[in-house]
Every structure is written in structure tokens, then in C-alpha cells.
Copies of this chain bind each other. A is one copy, B any other.
Amino acid sequence: MRLLEERILADGTVLGETILKVDQFLTHQVDYRLMKEIGRVFADQYADLGITKVVTIEASGIAPAVYTAEALEVPMIFAKKHKNITMTEGILTAEVYSFTKQVTSTVSIAGGLLSKEDRVLIIDDFLANGQAAKGLIDIIHQAGAKAVGIGIVIEKSFQAGRQLLEDLGVEVTSLARIKHFDNGIVSFLEADA
């Protein structure tokens, strides 16, 4: 997605060897115009696949996910990273290991929100090692639903996540694919859309 790549080059900041800071338009301040366009592109990719729900994980996935849901005219669910007093029963959970933080956390979705009939499109802001998306796929499978595809805003293609998800049989659509960071400059692979 050319518009996204241009925005990353203009407003993204590389921190160290592996971190891209995009808090001007995605992970802290949010550019609704870009999110809306991202939602349209994801929806176009999965328009004919009978998607019934969009699932993401709090918090930075919510904006691109809700615009994808709007474009597909389906509900969006954001998985919780933290325990919540109003989640009382039938909670589906998965353990997610963060290589960056070196901690395991529990991601959850209320079981009643997904059914065997659901065909789910997962949306997330970043794909690095794929652990968060793998956790969401696990939860979707626990509900008996199908994970049809994964839409990623920014993929770090030098990390193992994409291969992991494809090995699980889920199609990955990344709008920006980062080959590497070279002295603070972002280098892209060809994106999926």
C-alpha cells in the first residue's frame, strides 16, 4: 500500500535494530483518513470470502480493525490483554509470549461473541514474531470458528511471524513489508496489497 509506505518513510522513526515507531499516525496518534483507507484495502482483499467478524487485539489494532469492519459491514471484536471484571464466564484464552518484553501474557475473548458459523478476519497493527496473531487464531479455533485471513498493517519481514502464520494455514495480507532497517532507513519488500 503505497500511501502507507510513504507515510512510514515520512513519519516513522527507527529505534535500534528492530523497532519502528509510528506513533504519529497508528500506535498513539491515529490518522483516521489513513485508517479508513487501510480498512478499505483489507475489505477489498477479503470481500468474497464471507467474513462475518473482524477480530483484533487491544489497543493499536482497534482503529484499523473498526474501519475494516465498517468496510465489510460486520462487527469487530477486540481481544483483551488484561483481566476485566465484566468478563464473567465462558472466556476463551490463549497464552501469548512477547519476545520483546520476554513475558507471557493471557489474551482473551468472551466465548459468546464467536460461534462455529463465524468466518473471521484478524487485523493487527504489527506482525513481528506472530505470537499475538497465533494466540487469536487459537482462540478462534477454540470457538469452532474459522480464521480466514490475517490483515497486517506493518510486517517486519525479517522476523519469523509471517512464516509461522502461513504454516498454520492462514493467509497473510500485509500492507507494508519491512525488509530491514539500514542505518535508520526503512527498506521495503513488495507488499501484499
Contacts and interface: CB of A to CB of B under 8 A. Distances in A.
Interface of A: 15, 19, 21, 23-24, 27-32, 35-36, 58-59, 62-63, 66-67, 69-70, 75-78, 80, 85-88, 100-101, 109-110, 113
A31 B113 CA distance: 12
Contact of A30 (B24, B76, B87): B76
A32 to B, nearest CB: 4
Nearest to A63: B66
A86 B19 contact: yes
B30 A85 contact: no
A1 to B, nearest CB: 19
Given A30-B77, A32-B75, 19 more contacts: A15-B88, A23-B110, A23-B113, A28-B77, A28-B78, A28-B109, A28-B113, A29-B77, A29-B113, A30-B62, A30-B69, A30-B78, A32-B66, A32-B76, A58-B58, A59-B59, A59-B78, A62-B62, A63-B63
Contacts of A101: 85
Contact of A29 (B21, B29, B76): B76
Copies, count: 2
Contacts of A77: 28-30
Q: Closest 10 CB pairs between A and B? A: A58-B59, A59-B59, A21-B86, A32-B70, A62-B62, A30-B76, A29-B77, A63-B66, A29-B113, A32-B69
Main SS of the interface on chain A?
A: mixed
A129 to B, nearest CB: 15
A160 B117 CA distance: 43
